[in-house]
Amino acid sequence: MLVLNKFGGLYLDHDVLSLFPVQLIKHQNFGCLEENDKFANAIIKLDKIEGQKYSDLFLEKVSENYDPNNWAANGPDLITSVFKSFCNEIFLSVNETTMCDKITAFASQKCFPFMWWSYEVFYKEKYSKLGFQKLLKLEVSTFIFEIIHLNILMKLLNLIEILKHFTWT
């Protein structure tokens, strides 16, 4: 968050894979909903100027309330608290992309067609074929998805074969 505060930019967890050139994402400030009224902290984009009020508040809150024993309190709960404080407490549906203040709250499916708790669709052999079939059917508008607990070395070649089917227009 310090880097986003100073320079602006896009933060992605190490296990996020973009299916779309991130330079083409037009939104200056956004987060992704993981559940109704709850942001994930895996994908955050903040503009250096327009996004600074969000990162300023995040840094202020984390310095006052940091809890070394509660990961969620320092991550998604804090991101949610910051973004919602600018949204006049409107309800954010996980199924709808919503704009509030100057931040876009992307619907979950736009960011996470495969949620972290459904990692079996790639990891376990009996589900992996279904997972890859779902990947091939993703909407063009789906630009990011998260893969958790994958054995990257074993799955990377399969993924490269699948990605050959996508066009980047």
- Tell whether the model's pLDDT for residue 52 goes beyond 90: yes
Nearest-CA neighbor of 132 among 167, 95, 168, 165?
A: 165
What is the tens place of the pLDDT at every residue in 77-129?
Answer: 999 999 999 887 788 898 999 998 989 999 888 887 766 666 666 556 665 56
**pLDDT tier at 162, thresholds 50, 70, 90:** low
Average of per-residue pLDDT across 14-30: 79
SS (H, E, C) the chain: CHHHHHHCEEEECCCEEECCCHHHCCCCCEEEEEECCEEEEEEEEECCCCCHHHHHHHHHHHHHHCCCCCHHHHCHHHHHHHHHHCCCCCCCCCCCCEEECCEEEECHHHHCCCCHHHCHHHHCHHHHHHHHHHHHCCCCCCCEEECCCCCHHHHHHHHHHHHCCCCCC
- Tell whether the model's pLDDT for residue 133 goes beyond 90: no
Residue 147: which residues within 8 A CB-CB, separation 6 or more?
15, 17, 114, 119, 122
Pairing between strand 30-35 and 9-12? unpaired
Q: Which two tokens stand for residue 68?
A: 């070394």
